[in-house]
Amino acid sequence: MSNIFHYAFKVKDLASTRAFYIDILGCIEGRSTEHWVDFDFYGNQLSAHVGVVESALDYCGQVDGVAVPIPHFGCLLTAEQFTSLAQKLEQAKVTFIVKPQLRYTGKSGQQHTMFVLDFSGNPLEFKSFSDETEVFKA
């Protein structure tokens, strides 16, 4: 088994959470109870737990001149996955915090990125590097 991450976070309810993560993102549901549900999130384990979700977002992150919410989580995708997901999100009329765009154009780390909110208001970022060898390059 390769190294995968586990991330537990709060959601307002499981019905809307399943609608977002399964119906829109295409995640596969794992174990669940009436209080939480696990998802296969591009090979990683997300655990959504019903609780009170902070509603105020802090846009303290400045990345290539764009304010982004901190904290957030997401996934690195292939170019094909990124394009497909952007289309799914647009078709589902999900509001983009940051619309799909190219960041660091012509520089090391050039990447497509987009930010959305799940149906509980949790910010997610999806990105696709033009050159995967530059993911951790300074």
Write out pLDDT tens, residues 37-71.
999 999 999 999 999 998 788 999 999 889 999 99
- Residue 68 shares a structural domain with residue 129: yes
Contact 62, 130 (CB under 8 A): no
Is the pLDDT at 138 greater than 80? The verdict is: no
The answer to whether 86 and 80 are in contact (CB under 8 A) is: no
Average pLDDT, the chain: 95
Structural domain boundaries, residue 73 = 61-134
Domains identified in the chain, total number:
2
Q: Cβ contacts of residue 91 below 8 Å, gap of 6+?
A: none
The 10s digit of each residue's pLDDT in 6-21 is 999 999 999 999 999 9
Same domain, residue pair 39 and 68: no
Q: pLDDT-derived band of residue 137, with 50, 70 and 90 as boundaries? A: confident
Q: What is the pLDDT of residue 74?
A: 95
Task: With respect to residue 56, please indicate whether it lies within any of the assigned structural domains.
Answer: no
